[in-house]
Structure 1
Amino acid sequence: MGENYKLTYFNVKAVGEPIRLIFAYAGVKYEDNRVEHADWPEMKSIGDKTLGQSNAICRYLGKKFNLDGDNDWENAKIDEFADAVADFRMAWARTFKEKDETRKAELLKDVLETVVPQVFGTLEATIVGNGGSPYLVGKKLTWIDLLTAHYLDFFENLHPGVLIKYPNLIKLKTVVYQTEQIKEWCEKRPVTNM
């Protein structure tokens, strides 16, 4: 009998969406258990295995569904890029959470002028150096491509034009969101504000 998967996360895309993209791409059925923030403290583990942290879940599912690298080096590079995307996400999250509008503007300016060129520039150069592949690592789609495409899409929706200097990141995002499984998921997923 196959494994039964259940993703319990808030009713937003955020860090849960890359996991949903992996399930969609792999064609694996799972329970998409969306909870409200007020209900979170009452949530309990169900079953004998529970895994927290979105990147750990992505890594586990990537290996399960052949969305990982072809060797240890490729998997190390995937982890490197996952950490870079997490650095970007955390820098942006500080702007989102900031209440003081002046400080928020300063933080956003730093993200757009420093963090984006640093992280997106590194990812862009990686794809350029990947021998014509549209992916970050190797010649096949991996979980890091799904995770990265999600955050690129999310951030570009908030800041239109932010990817204009990164044509290979635009191509990566397009390749991911044009795969049949991902298109189907995007058409049927619940509409959320984030």
Structure 2
Amino acid sequence: MPEYKLVYFDIRAVAEPIRWIFKAAKVPFEDERISYEDWKAEKKNPRFPLGQIPTLEVDGKVWTQSYAIGRYLAKTFGFTVEDDFLNYRSEQVSEIIEDCRLIAIPLVYEVLGDNNPEVVKNLKEKIIKDVFPRHFTQINSIIEETEGVFITGNKITHGDFVLASWLNMWEDLVDPTILENFPLLEKQKLAVTSIPEIQEWLQNRPKTVA
């Protein structure tokens, strides 16, 4: 089996779906976490060809781009379906979540930086009012089309790891009630986080703000 090393900051964010995939697949990996201070010098290291993280080192070779890494690992470990349209649905959801992430980035930066209470409050209110309802409604309608708890039905795929890990983080970071009006998303998140290996990870992983 290849030796895997995932390199990222000491936060969840875009690396967390990859961690969940490894855990669900019961595949060991090294979870290297770099501090923001150390990153200032480390980003010039040749092992970071784009000057950004996360990266995944596979037997010494460096892979970049978190979603591409996640898709590859999901397929390699059997978290995929044969139906091309359903695989599209899975990736459609992951990209909707990416749209949310990009809009919510200022909140993460503020919480990890100055953490001004008034600024944080305003950013959270904007996300809860203008971002989540629109995007979550679309995801909800996608999951409604299939029979089962996951995006494609009863088989977990890459998009499920992306969706559930971000919902888990946003409940902690933004508001614990964000899924109140989206029972299918709550059901999907619970199905993923109930996987024993992921459940154990959630209980024992490093405690981080984001």
Which position in structure 2 is the counterpart of 1:59? 71
Distance between the aligned counterparts of 2:23 and 2:108, measured in 1?
28
Post-superposition Cα deviations, 1:100-150, rounded to whole Å, max 9, x if no partner, equal 88776555433222221111111112222212x011123211121111111
Which position in structure 2 is the counterpart of 1:128? 144
The answer to whether the Cα contact below 8 Å between 1:69 and 1:78 also exists between their aligned partners in 2 is no
Taking structure 2 as the reference length, the TM-score comes to 0.82
The answer to whether the Cα contact below 8 Å between 2:14 and 2:66 also exists between their aligned partners in 1 is yes
Shift of 1:72: 2.3
The answer to whether the Cα contact below 8 Å between 1:7 and 1:32 also exists between their aligned partners in 2 is yes
The answer to whether the Cα contact below 8 Å between 1:69 and 1:138 also exists between their aligned partners in 2 is no
Q: CA RMSD in A?
A: 2.1
Which position in structure 1 is the counterpart of 2:11? 12
Which position in structure 1 is the counterpart of 2:159? 144
Matches within 5 A, 1:34-113: 34-40=33-39, 41-42=41-42, 43-45=45-47, 48-97=60-109, 107-113=123-129
The answer to whether the Cα contact below 8 Å between 1:4 and 1:30 also exists between their aligned partners in 2 is yes
Which amino acid in the other structure matches residue 154 of structure 2? K
In structure 2, stretches of 5+ residues that fail to align are 48-56
Which shows bigger deviation, 144-153 or 96-105? 96-105
Taking structure 1 as the reference length, the TM-score comes to 0.88
Which position in structure 1 is the counterpart of 2:183? 167
Post-superposition Cα deviations, 1:30-59, rounded to whole Å, max 9, x if no partner, equal 111111122224244265521112111111
The answer to whether the Cα contact below 8 Å between 1:21 and 1:182 also exists between their aligned partners in 2 is yes
Post-superposition Cα deviations, 1:72-107, rounded to whole Å, max 9, x if no partner, equal 222222221111000001111133436788776555
The yes-or-no answer on 1:177 pairing with 2:193 is yes
Runs of 4+ with >4 A deviation? 98-107
In structure 1, stretches of 5+ residues that fail to align are none
Paired residue secondary structure (2:74): helix
Distance between the aligned counterparts of 2:11 and 2:46, measured in 1?
20
Distance between the aligned counterparts of 1:140 and 1:93, measured in 2?
30
Which shows bigger deviation, 67-76 or 168-177? 67-76
Distance between the aligned counterparts of 1:5 and 1:35, measured in 2?
16
Which position in structure 1 is the counterpart of 2:31? 32
